[in-house]
Amino acid sequence: MDFQLSDEQQLFQATIREFADKEIRPVAREWEAEGRYPHEIVDKMKELGLFGLTVPEEYGGLAVDMVSFSIVFEELARAWMGVAGILGSHSLAAHMIAQHGTEEQKRRHLPALATGERRTAIALTEPDAGSDLQGITTRATRDGDEYVVTGTKFWITNARFADPLPVLVKTDPAAAPAHTGMSVLLVDADTPGYSVSRDIPKLGYKGPESAEVVLDDARVPVENLLGGVEGQGFKQVMGGLEVGRINVAARSVGIAQESYEQALKYAGEREAFGKPINQFQAIQLKLAEMATRTQSARLMTWWAASRADAGQSANMESSMAKYHGSEAAIANALDSMRVHGGAGYSKEFDVERLYRDAPLMAIGEGTNDILKMVIARQLTGGKGRIG
Q: In 270-349, where does DSSP find H-type helix?
A: 281-309, 315-340
Residue 65: name the closest of 233, 314, 292 by CA. 314
Q: How many CB atoms lie within 10 A of CB 52?
A: 25
* C-alpha of 85 from chain center: 6
Angle at 83 between CA 4 and CA 316, to 5 degrees: 50
Q: What is the CA radius of gyration of the chain?
A: 21
Query: DSSP letters along 148-184, please?
Result: EEEEEEEEEETTTTBSSEEEEEES-TT-SSGGGGEEE
Tell me whether residue 365 is one of the annotated catalytic residues.
Answer: yes
Closest CA to 361 of 297, 289, 313, 299: 297
Among 121, 114, 95, residue whose Cα is nearest residue 46: 114
CA nearest 234: which of 306, 275, 175, 276? 175
From the candidates 242, 258, 317, 365, which is the catalytic residue? Answer: 365
Task: List Cα–Cα distances, 99 to 11, 102, 107, 122, 350, in angstroms.
Answer: 28, 9, 13, 15, 38
Rounded to a whole number, what is the distance in angstroms from the first to the last CA of the chain? 13
**How far apart are alpha carbons 69 and 274 in whole angstroms?**
45
What is the CB-side half-sphere exposure of residue 58 using CA atoms within 13 A? Answer: 5
Phi, psi of 227 (to 5 degrees): 85, -15
H-type helices in the chain, by residue range?
A: 7-19, 25-34, 39-47, 66-79, 81-100, 103-115, 233-269, 281-309, 315-340, 351-361, 368-380
Phi-psi region of 176 (alpha: psi -120 to 50; beta: other; left: phi over 0): beta
With beta carbons less than 8 A apart as the criterion, state whether 255 and 358 touch. Answer: yes
Which residues are designated catalytic?
365
